[in-house]
Chains A and B, each alone.
Chain A
Amino acid sequence: MGISDWTARKTLLLIGSYIFYGAWNPAFVLLLLLSTIIDWYAAKWIEGAKLASHKKFFLLLSLVSNLGLLGFFKYGNFFLENISWLAHFAGHNTNWESMSIILPVGISFYTFQTLSYTIDIYRGNLKSCRSFLDFALYVTFFPQLVAGPIVRAVDFIPQCVEPKKVTLNQMSWGFYFMTLGLFQKVVLADIFLSGTSDHVFGWKEGSLNFVDAWIGAIGASFCLGFLLPDNFRFPYASIGFSDFWRRWHISLSTWLKDYLYIPLGGSRHGEARTMANLMITMVIGGFWHGASWNYIIWGACHGTFLIGEQYLKVLFKSYSPGILGKFLLGTTTFLLATMAQAIFRAPDIPHAINIMASLWGFHSHGINILTSIELFKVLLVMGSLIAVHIFMRKSQLEFFMEKAPSWFVVTIWSVMLFGIVIAQGGSHAFIYFQF
């Protein structure tokens, strides 16, 4: 007997999502539930409060509890280590040992999601959700729970109201997305690139995420009748860093813009303040990725790139790049973004410095570490990837697929499926799980 009632289907989806999350570590389902309940009530109280001070208090409650949980689980040890280091620097001996804390998978994603909900209600941009089931599903929806994108309540909750009917044809298109996402993750990232990356950086921590693996999440949602927004749009064809951040991790960059950059004043208070706001936003954006100075420096690099770009735009106000200009600007963007990514991926600051020194030729007696095979794999995939990104720069996958002949679609689809089957990728973690 099929489940026809929409509420029953959503309940089943919610239970499935909790089981999915609990399969990693059952105890952390309680944490997810706690976060859901706090924001459910905080939102109701914000909406129901008559005094502005009360609204502010309930918003603070949501912010403190969400960021408190995130701070403890994700940044607890980082703060402890740095305070300990500072104390040691000031001549005080501390014997603080790192706490044994397991980082709940996807905590940064669902924390930012639920925060956007309470902040939007506080601002009056959104009415609180009437159904706890819909809200819990918004927080827990399994395709995007552990690796994003950061979906806004305003984008998701309305989809829970009307029952969805998915045709077999639409579901098959969803499968296409899932195949593409899996192929990029299992074959391109894990098989072709992760080994080389591990070799260069000297540690195994997740895999490369140059590809928009969120495509898989979009496909799975499609099959269930829900829509998720794009998170990446061919970022390696970006021309400049404003363009880059409109294409790279879009759900995070728009979140930071709406809930951090604009509240800080955005570009409304003069040049110096705009630059400071940009830098603060990007540093916090970097820190969101992980409890390490590498991520902070990565964020600061992007802040610097964006500020530099603003200055260049002022200096060359009337300059409109031709094809050669776009090529040079695009190449510069790619190289700078990739170099910053090396800091992001390095296990710690000394390694990052070492890699930068090697990149710039300061290790004249260094040895070659990459083998011919490793170079071949990286050149093949990165060359193809950049070519695809440039070709698709002004387009969308959907437009391309509409025009593509059926034989081409079938060939690509079969090859991708076969690649996934023979890959035997093993249990490589996805780097964004740790966020």
Chain B
Amino acid sequence: MLSSIFNSSIVERLYPEKNWKVLFFISICICSLMTLGWELYWRKQGYEPSLNDNKDLWALNRERLDKNPKLTTVIGSSRILFGLNLNEWKKEFGEKPLQLSTVASNVTVYLHHLAHDSNFSGTLIMGVDPYLFFAPSGAPMDIPTGNIEYYKKFSWAQRWSHHIGIPLDKNLAFLEQDDLPLKNLLERLPLPLRKNVKEAPPIPPYFVSVDADRQGLMIKKVETDPAFRAHMIAIWKKYFTPPPLPKGVTEQEFMKQNAEHVGSTLKKVAESIKKIQDRGGKVIMVRYPSTGHVRQMEATYTPRQQFWNRIITETHANMSVHFEDFETLKNFQCPEESHLNGEDAVLFTKELIKILKEKGL
């Protein structure tokens, strides 16, 4: 029989007569077994426990700059996130730099953010990928903008939630955030494509782990699994293929708009760099390696003369390093054509530091 749970004269809630504590206990046990099975399944698929590189982790790291505004800071996208080894930097300079780069990001968003922080006066290392550098919208803008906005409103509740989540992230593989959230698994259901719908570009699978300092490290599967590697390369090819012209815009009009966008981007970047320099900071631009088809596509769509050289000439960074210009940097091989693996990241960083020191850092 349903019974009233308490004797409140106004609100009355009924509760069904069942042995709820036993039902709850059994449900928890079944759920735990299902979770264990889920964890074992994903471990068997090659996933390992790792911290998630989310907005909380970015915001927590960004806060370090509030305490020490002279901290050497790294901004950019995935290439410098994986390719700059923080420990190697620490060996040489005594302190790990702050890693604020995020995957698929337009570095200029982070540059403007730090330029507007009147306290920041450290050395800024910018990873420059010409393709992303001029990306006007979409994920390259949304990801860094989202991180910055999140950091500005970072609440105590979010902070606590993150700290509670760390032990779970460190021990459970199924909490990986790129491939395994239910939402992302549903997205991969093999349903027929709907006619006349522009499907979103494929999202790269999990291929990097991070630690608390946000040191990115490419997972071994990229090197050991040829099919996985081929899949990654196929995704990069799609990413590096320019989109078709917008509807109703001629190629001439598009080129004109593009030239205006490039010009205004470079002007703003130069202004931000000057702001940092005026406060005593330094800005270093680094072009990380790519290989194979990706390199060819970059050379075709973002030729050095029109992109990298122009960026360096017009923005007046203190130093710049393009991997092609140095014997010690030009022969690195990227397993999936776009990023360095862990071992090469160490070697690359060592050589990069030597070059930067020769240049006066």
Contact = CB atoms under 8 A, between A and B. Distances in A.
Contacts of B197: 367-372
A372 B187 CA distance: 10
Contacts of B26: 410, 414
A421 interface: yes
Contacts of B19: 169, 406
Interface string B141-181: 00000000000000111101100000000000011010011
B9 interface: yes
Contacts of A187: 182
B67 interface: no
Contact of B2 (A156, A377, A402): A402
Contacts of A23: 155-157, 160
Nearest to B20: A172
Contacts of B177: 424
Interface residues of B, number: 57
B157 A398 contact: no
A414 B34 contact: yes
A302 to B, nearest CB: 27
A423 B177 CA distance: 10
A424 B182 contact: yes
A51 interface: no
Nearest to A419: B182
B193 A406 contact: no
Contact of A158 (B9, B17, B195): B9
A6 interface: no
B141 to A, nearest CB: 15
A410 B177 CA distance: 29
A221 B183 CA distance: 30
Given A372-B194, A424-B181, A427-B161, A402 B186 contact: no
Interface in B28-49: 28, 30-31, 34-35, 38
Contacts of A312: none
Given A24-B157, A222-B13, A401-B16, A409 B182 contact: no
A367 B194 CA distance: 12
B10 to A, nearest CB: 5
Interface string A348-383: 000000000000000000011111110111000000
Nearest to B25: A172
Contact of A159 (B11, B174, B189, B195): B11
B183 A191 contact: yes
Contacts of A414: 26-27, 30-31, 34
Contacts of A228: 11
* Chain A binding surface SS class: helix
Contacts of A191: 181-183, 186
A77 B206 CA distance: 43
B23 A222 contact: no
Contacts of B16: 173, 398-399, 401-402
A172 B21 contact: yes
B357 interface: no
Interface string B1-15: 110011111111111
B91 interface: no
Interface in B184-208: 186-187, 189, 191-200
Nearest to B247: A367
A312 to B, nearest CB: 34
A384 interface: no
B34 A373 contact: no
Interface string A391-416: 00000101101100010011001100
Q: Which of B9, B20, B174, B186 has the most CB of A within 10 A?
A: B20
Interface in B284-317: none
Contacts of B192: 372
A423 B181 contact: yes
Contacts of B183: 190-191, 195, 423-424
Nearest to B195: A368
A418 interface: yes
Contacts of B35: 418, 421-422
A24 to B, nearest CB: 5
Contacts of A368: 194-197
Given A155-B11, A191-B186, A227-B11, A22 B6 contact: no
A25 interface: yes
Contacts of A406: 18-19, 23
Interface string A13-56: 00000000011111000000000000000000000000000000
User: In this complex, which of B35, B157, B187, B189 has the most chain A Cβ atoms within 10 angstroms of its Cβ?
Assistant: B157
Nearest to B158: A427
A399 B2 contact: yes
A22 B156 contact: yes
B191 A164 contact: no
Contacts of A369: 197-198
A418 B37 CA distance: 11
A159 B6 contact: yes
Contact of A402 (B18, B30, B181): B18
Nearest to B37: A418
A417 B29 CA distance: 10
A110 B174 CA distance: 39
Contacts of B28: 417
A229 interface: yes
Contacts of A26: 156
A280 to B, nearest CB: 29
A117 interface: no
Interface in A161-209: 162, 164, 168-173, 175-176, 187, 190-192, 195
Nearest to B7: A162
Given A370-B194, A421-B35, A402 B17 contact: yes
Nearest to B19: A169
B8 A227 contact: yes
B8 A158 contact: yes
B193 A25 contact: no
A133 interface: no
A153 to B, nearest CB: 10
Given A373-B186, A422-B182, A227 B12 contact: yes
A146 to B, nearest CB: 11
B187 A373 contact: yes
23 contacts: A25-B155, A156-B11, A158-B8, A158-B9, A173-B15, A173-B16, A187-B182, A191-B181, A368-B195, A368-B197, A369-B197, A370-B194, A372-B191, A372-B193, A396-B14, A401-B18, A406-B23, A413-B23, A421-B35, A422-B35, A424-B180, A424-B182, A427-B55
Interface of A: 22-26, 154-156, 158-159, 162, 164, 168-173, 175-176, 187, 190-192, 195, 218, 222, 225, 227-229, 367-373, 375-377, 396, 398-399, 401-402, 406, 409-410, 413-414, 417-419, 421-427
Given A398-B14, A409-B18, A418-B35, 17 more contacts: A169-B19, A169-B21, A172-B23, A173-B15, A191-B182, A218-B13, A369-B197, A373-B186, A373-B191, A398-B2, A406-B19, A409-B27, A414-B27, A417-B31, A424-B175, A424-B180, A425-B181
Return the 10 tightest CB-CB contacts between A and B, nearest first.
A172-B20, A402-B16, A23-B157, A413-B27, A417-B31, A424-B181, A414-B30, A172-B24, A372-B191, A227-B11
